[in-house]
Amino acid sequence: MLARVGVERIDDLFEAIPPSHLLDQALDLEPALDEPRLMQHLTALSNASAGANMLSFLGGGMYRHHVPPAVDQLLLRSEFYTAYTPYQAELSQGTLQATFEFQTMVCELLGTDVANASMYDGASAAAEAVLMARRIKRRTHVVISDALHPEYIETIRTYVQGLDTETTISLAPIGADGQTDWDTARSLVTDKTAALVVGYPNFLGCVEDLGAARAVADTRGALLVTATAEPYAVSVLRSPGACGADICVGEGQALAVPPQYGGPGVGLFGASQNLVRQMPGRLVGRTVDSEGQPGYVLTLSTREQHIRREKATSNICTNHGLIALAMGMRTAMLGRRGFREAGQRCLNAAHYLRAGIAKLEHFEVPYAAPVFNELVARSGGPTASEVVGRLLDDDIIAGVDLGRFRDDWRQDLLIATTELHTRDDLDRLLQALAS
């Protein structure tokens, strides 16, 4: 190899590096370990890390649910792990079938006629839904509930700000109960409004009244868009599609992978069948071949790489196919019964915690609206940031400090529960808050 590139020694390849930057001694490494001892050593290091065994109540858009080890093992199959966009799609029947199954599950979760082959995450899916509504209604105004996840709102702003100078966004305020103020929202909707966008549940954990949202959107013929960051919520709540939403988006991370520093996620996107031509991304369909055998095909592909640029609905380059596959695996393992049981445990834990917080001397539950697995606790003393800091000493991550999003939320702590939290875990948090 050296002869081929025209040098005599390995060192000749590094002549450009100044001698002062070269290591002139052997690396100070510990002796090599065999595999069992190496694994023991790494386990000891990880257990010694700060926070390795902390009790966490983090949520706010990313949730820690149980994901069986079988999911990781199945993802390691080479035909899945190394797969990319199938440009000769029909040759990739396994990938297409897995994608089709994912779409079917998303339709059942969101209550929609069709779903695409996933988006980057819930935030980008919400932004694409707004762009889709603008194309369909040919209007340039959007009303967004201020209770939608703040990062979803910012992502939507980023997507639309470069489209044209006419695009405007109005925020419908949050009512005293934690839901959107629908009377004010109704006054914001005009003949130029393309869509009304709400969280379901919203960022504060409150379950929005989609019947009221539908009525507000209908006053001026706008589309209703819902965003569901916690997919387990629809295990006990009526699906947004069944409640009349036109476009339903969400985040599938909770059903696929653990939270990992904020990602990766998998955006869910479903809609009514009459809107399918304006959907972003790709759609896999099931058909039969010339011999009547079932087969899967890339039915709709609406990005500019596949069709004329002026006909493209989105320039999204690819999807999070591996995470979508993980979500499909996990959802199939759960089944309907397991999905509902897990959701009921989340719901029970949240209501137990809500009742306990309401009894604490220096805390209150400020919002009376129904919740699923997430709720706000308002401190009457230290700020939420200070509460989080103090409970770290007890090896508890108490939740999300909402003051990082808005100054008027400085006393508010967003706490999430899942099926992984035991009664002892909940009591431990309540005792720590009481102290």
- If asked whether residues 218 and 341 sit together in one domain, one would say no
Question: Can you give the pTM of this predicted structure?
Answer: 0.88
Most confident of 44-48, 149-153, 264-268: 149-153
Percent of the chain scoring above 90 in pLDDT? 78
CA of 253: how far to CAs of 112, 137, 318, 344, in Å? 19, 31, 17, 19
- If asked whether residues 142 and 234 sit together in one domain, one would say yes
Q: Which helix (H) or strand (E) holds 270?
A: strand 267-271
- If asked whether residues 268 and 406 sit together in one domain, one would say no
Q: Is the pLDDT of residue 125 over 90?
A: yes
How many domains are there within the chain? Answer: 2
* 319 found inside a domain: yes
- If asked whether residues 192 and 81 sit together in one domain, one would say yes
CB atoms within 10 A of CB 411: 23
Q: Is the pLDDT of residue 88 over 70?
A: no
Q: How far apart are the first and last CA of the chain?
A: 68
CB 309 within 8 A of CB 149: no
**CATH code for position 344:** 3.90.1150.10
Of 330, 345, 367, the position where a domain reaches its end is 330
pLDDT digits (tens, 9 = 90+) for 289-329: 899 999 998 888 766 556 666 777 776 666 688 899 999 99
Banded pLDDT at 354 (limits 50, 70, 90): very high
Of 302, 330, 358, the position where a domain reaches its end is 330
Residue 80's domain comprises 69-330
- If asked whether residues 323 and 341 sit together in one domain, one would say no
- If asked whether residues 77 and 203 sit together in one domain, one would say yes
- If asked whether residues 273 and 153 sit together in one domain, one would say yes
pLDDT digits (tens, 9 = 90+) for 225-282: 999 999 999 999 999 999 999 999 999 999 999 998 877 899 999 999 999 989 988 8
* Residue 395: closest CA among 345, 424, 352, 429: 429
Instruction: Return the C-alpha torsion angle 132, 133, 138, 142, nearest 10.
Output: -130
Q: Count H helices and E strands in the chain, helices first.
A: 12, 15
* 216 found inside a domain: yes
In the structure encoding, which two tokens stand for residue 401, read together? 């400090």
CA of 271: how far to CAs of 110, 131, 250, in Å? 9, 14, 12
Q: Is the pLDDT of residue 52 over 70?
A: no
Q: What's residue 302's pLDDT?
A: 63
CB 185 within 8 A of CB 216: yes
**CATH code for position 126:** 3.40.640.10
